[in-house]
Amino acid sequence: MPFKKKRKKEIIFILGPTGVGKSETAVYLAKIIGAEIISCDSMQIYKGLKIISAHPKVGLLKRVKHHLLGVIPLSSEYNASLFRKDALKKIKDIHKKGRIPLVVGGTGLYSSILIDGIFQCKAQDKRIRDKFYRIALSKGSKYLHDRLKRRDPLAAKKIHFNDTRRIVRALEVFEITGKPITLLQSKRRGLRDKYDIKVFCLNMPKDELYNRINNRVEKMFKSGLVSEVKGVLNKKLSKTVSSVIGLKEVEGFLRGEYSKDEAKEALKLNTRHYAKRQLTWFRKDKSIVWINLSANQKPKDTVKQILSYIERQ
């Protein structure tokens, strides 16, 4: 389906929780609009994590060009800032080919830093930071959070009172610059300022999503998850890779700490919790267009919803 001519080049995002069906929907959409897919997943970027990070199936990869999948060694640290740099390059390359970048994934921090830009405040003072950590240790993070409310009410509203690291950082920035961190963050510049951005988030009823996650975990074990984890554990791992959901759960089984069924249940539970956190993150962005899926909805029907919205703009 052709798009209307616009002054700004287009970029489309398909976000959502794990297991909701982003990969299938993205490939179907990409074939229709002439897009190439950029993975927005903090674990799929690594080599050797195909099963544990739920890489798109080979059939999907053959149908549409994918970028930033399985390209980083397991021993290397990777973060949102590096992703932003890599993704921006891919976006330019795809546009040069006359195609549309389609950014797909569930890592909220990665999508946010790409869409809204990166906060690059260099105000740092270890002495001030340590002072706040000592206060947190003696009086608790709630005490610091109350102080932040007086200095930067907007930041306090966004930061949970138990998130000591972010509270300390906000107070540190305020003490050094005299300005609220939220004011400095508002000056970020991201893709929204240069491109025509459309951001969609797929969702479905919780019971159906959790059922999909449970079934996916069963398939992962049948597809060789235990063997993959064995191979991964024999290598030097970055801190990022060491935190991937599934690694610790399977490692416990391999060490004989619990049965395979118990490992499965732990992985299902932790993945469901992760999906819940993903949705919480995406709900903070009021510009996201939510695509609510019915049970057993086909990707082609999801794409119709997306295209219908785009055509109305």
- Identify the H or E element spanning 290: strand 289-292
CATH of the domain at 81: 3.40.50.300
Residues 229 and 302 reside in one and the same domain: yes
pLDDT of residue 189: 67
- Residue 226 half-sphere exposure toward CB, CA atoms < 13 A: 13
CA–CA separation, 305 and 35 (whole Å): 17
What's the pLDDT score for residue 242? 94
- Residue 200 included in any domain: yes
Q: What is the pLDDT at residue 188? A: 65
Please enumerate in sequence order all residues whose Cβ is within 8 A of that of 194, keeping only pairs 6 or more positions apart, or say none: 8
Amino acid at 197: I
Instruction: Give CB contacts under 8 A, 24+ apart, made by 157-161.
Output: 158/182
Confidence (pLDDT) at 105 = 97
Residues of the chain with pLDDT under 70: 1-7, 119-123, 184-189
Range of the domain at 291: 10-118+189-312
Q: Give me the pLDDT at residue 71, please.
A: 97
Check whether residue 180 and residue 206 sit in a common domain: no
pLDDT for 186: 64
CA distance 157 to 10: 33
Is residue 132 located within the same domain as residue 104? no
Q: Identify whether the C-beta of residue 191 lies closer than 8 Å to the C-beta of residue 115.
A: yes
Query: The whole model's pTM is what?
Result: 0.80
